[in-house]
A and B are shown apart, each in its own frame.
Chain A
Amino acid sequence: MALTADSTPATGPDPAPAVRKGRRRLRTFSRGDKVILSLMVGIPLLYEAVLVWLPALLSVGLSFTNARLDITQPGGVKLVGLSNYRFIAQDYPPFMPALEHNLIWLLFLTLIATPLGLFIAVLLDFNLRGSWLYQSVFFIPVMLSLALVGIIWQLMYSSDSGLINSVLGTAGQPGAVDWFGNSKINLWAALIATSWKHVGYIMILYLAGLKGVDPTLKEAAAIDGATAAQTFFRVVFPAMRPINIIVIVITVIEALRAFDIVYIINRGTNGLELVSALVVQNLIGEGTNIGVGAALATVLLVVSLVPITIYLGRTFRKEMR
């Protein structure tokens, strides 16, 4: 990067007779240029194919095999049909709770955290005095890793010295609530910790979206006597349709990708089972069973492809025409 030449004025003598506007076709290239262009696309493409798409397909493949600790296991890897799927559906107790928790995760983010982020963005968009200060406060958690968020909230939640139990006067007492340890409530405690970050993320996206809405729309609505709420729901929110869809997709994908925070808390056990965590439990440590892990990963892949397809379809639809 340091080699970057100074931005030599890119305006040639005169690009005037650009009758044939638009981008160039490949056939106008010299051979050397073709080779270089192929390399520029080919190397990253190969990289991406080998490290992302091949493993994704291999996960599907491995899910139909009896691979346990290694693909070079004695006796070889054999196809076993759907038996890994039958196992996770029938004989693997954490699977159903994990699906349920992923769904709760999704609903919580969609119905509570994301709307809260939007609401805060709307209030900040009023350009109140000191709004940069509020903005910074909501913004800081966005910069932190979810692993670190888990550690920080542990200091809030711990039963013997956490802030919440200290305020309640129960810290270290028998009546103390172990927010991350009690399997009846730890999912909600983890969701609150996650939302601490998610709300700020959504706020940033919507702040940009709101700034992009033509202010004369709002002024016109105000002149017509609309209240702030009416202006928002009837004028501003519909005008942000593209960003709304992206925010929904991001929220769904975040819910499917949730992993770090539950893994930091208790590796995704005891009330915090998530499909992603079960995949890892089947790949690391004593219980290693590649086939089962791959079957769980395939379930996650199939579910993930729904929001990804919607997102890509929307994003690239215009260009496909």
Chain B
Amino acid sequence: MSTAVANNTRNADKANPNGSRIISSRTRVFSYIFLSVTAFLWIIPLAWTLYTSLRPEADTNKYGYLSTGGSFNFDNFSQAWTQGLFAKYFVNSAIITIPAVIITLFLASMVAFAVSRYTWKFNITLLILFTAGNLLPQQILAAPLFQMYKHFPLPLSVSDSGSLLNTFYGVIIANVAFQVGFCTFVLSNYMKALPSELGEAARVDGAGVFRQYWQIIMPLTRPALAALGTLEFIWIYNDFFWALLFIQSGDRLPITTGINNLNGVFAQNYNLIAAGAIMTAVPTLVVYLVLQKQFVAGLTLGSSKG
């Protein structure tokens, strides 16, 4: 897999000087026009949301939403922050997302290590079971999972519902279960590409299986782990459904599910809704700016084999 990525970039570099020669100038002009028009259309929704969020409601009411009159400030953001439980939502998202990503990668990497480094009878069956689990629509599992959670007793000191319902654990557990499959698939492909002599040498040196996994294979898998970690962070942060199903208290929702309440809380105040939308997008946009390469690598790792 790593070699595939390396090849890709090399091909890209090679293609660059030739790129202009491959297409005619007419094609180039058409491409520029098409891409510019489409990209312009594509940026409008976000630009409009940002623009609306910066204007006080009084001004947009007076001049209309499609206008340039009035003042621009961040008042909507501070108002939305305090009124809309945003601080809580963000903390909840962090409480759910960070452990879920770590546990997902940990579980997936163990299975991937076992199936990719050693020959088992049921290797493929295992991988199929794990991969398929991730492709199902979440709603298929909803009714039984809800019942299982409801009838899973927990001491009141751990969960005030006395069950897994309405807890962060419940949401984390479901997210992990749903993401482990994809990560197992990607990581096992990656680990298969590592030379098998690595394990042999370590074994000669007397390293046990777990040490081979943790000290030899895992460090070499770091690029894939970084890519998957970024991707999973976005996916779990963006998950809407599990919290919708399992969390009943509004103040325990993660942000992605919490925005379901924006319309009600902000009573059709579109300026506040816009500010809320922008704030919700900020963490993903930060990841986009900082870790775009990792994210793309994660997405394409899963699809580059077939």
Chain A interface residues (CB < 8 Å from chain B): 1, 4-8, 10-13, 15, 18, 21-26, 29-30, 32-33, 36-37, 40-41, 43-45, 47-49, 51-56, 58-59, 62, 70-72, 120, 123-124, 126-128, 131, 133-134, 137-141, 143-148, 151-156, 158, 161-163, 166-167, 171, 196, 201, 204-205, 208-209, 211-215, 218-219, 222, 227-228, 231, 242-243, 245-247, 250, 253, 256-257, 259-260, 263-264, 275-276, 279-280, 283-284, 290, 293-294, 297-298, 300-301, 304, 307-308, 311-312, 314-316, 319-320
Partner of B28, one of A128, A231, A257: A128
Q: List 20 A-B contacts (CB under 8 A).
A: A12-B202, A15-B198, A24-B119, A33-B208, A44-B108, A58-B147, A123-B35, A138-B38, A140-B288, A143-B288, A147-B260, A151-B280, A154-B263, A204-B296, A205-B299, A205-B300, A205-B303, A228-B22, A253-B135, A315-B306
Known: A143-B287, A155-B49, A156-B48. A212 touches B139 (CB 8 A): no
Chain B interface residues (CB < 8 Å from chain A): 4, 7-9, 11-12, 14-16, 18-24, 27-28, 31-32, 34-36, 38-39, 42-46, 48-49, 52, 60, 64-66, 102, 105-108, 110-111, 113-115, 117-120, 123-124, 126-133, 135-148, 150-151, 173-174, 176-178, 180-181, 184, 196-202, 204-205, 208-210, 213-216, 218-220, 222, 234, 237-241, 244-245, 256-257, 259-260, 262-263, 270, 273-274, 276-277, 280-281, 284-285, 287-288, 292, 295-296, 299-300, 303-306
Looking across the interface, which residue of chain B has its beta carbon closest to that of A222? B22
When the two chains form their complex, are residues B270 and A147 in contact, meaning their CB atoms are under 8 A apart?
no
Question: What is the CA–CA distance of A18 and B176 in the complex, to the nearest angstrom?
Answer: 38
Contacts of A56 in B (CB 8 A): 136, 140-141, 144
How far apart are B135's CB and chain A's nearest CB, in angstroms?
5
When the two chains form their complex, are residues B288 and A41 in contact, meaning their CB atoms are under 8 A apart?
no
When the two chains form their complex, are residues A153 and B114 in contact, meaning their CB atoms are under 8 A apart?
no
Interface of B is mostly: helix
Interface of A is mostly: helix
When the two chains form their complex, are residues A145 and B28 in contact, meaning their CB atoms are under 8 A apart?
no
When the two chains form their complex, are residues B31 and A215 in contact, meaning their CB atoms are under 8 A apart?
no
Question: What is the CA–CA distance of A152 and B259 in the complex, to the nearest angstrom?
Answer: 11
When the two chains form their complex, are residues B46 and A152 in contact, meaning their CB atoms are under 8 A apart?
yes
Question: What is the CA–CA distance of A184 and B50 in the complex, to the nearest angstrom?
Answer: 30
Most chain B CB neighbours (cut-off 10 Å) among A25, A41, A141: A41
Contacts of A215 in B (CB 8 A): 11, 14-15, 18
Partner of B118, one of A26, A58, A243, A275: A26
6 closest A-B pairs by beta carbon, nearest first, are A12-B201, A145-B238, A127-B19, A58-B144, A51-B177, A166-B66
Most chain B CB neighbours (cut-off 10 Å) among A7, A10, A218: A10
How far apart are B235's CB and chain A's nearest CB, in angstroms?
9
When the two chains form their complex, are residues B22 and A41 in contact, meaning their CB atoms are under 8 A apart?
no
When the two chains form their complex, are residues A167 and B119 in contact, meaning their CB atoms are under 8 A apart?
no
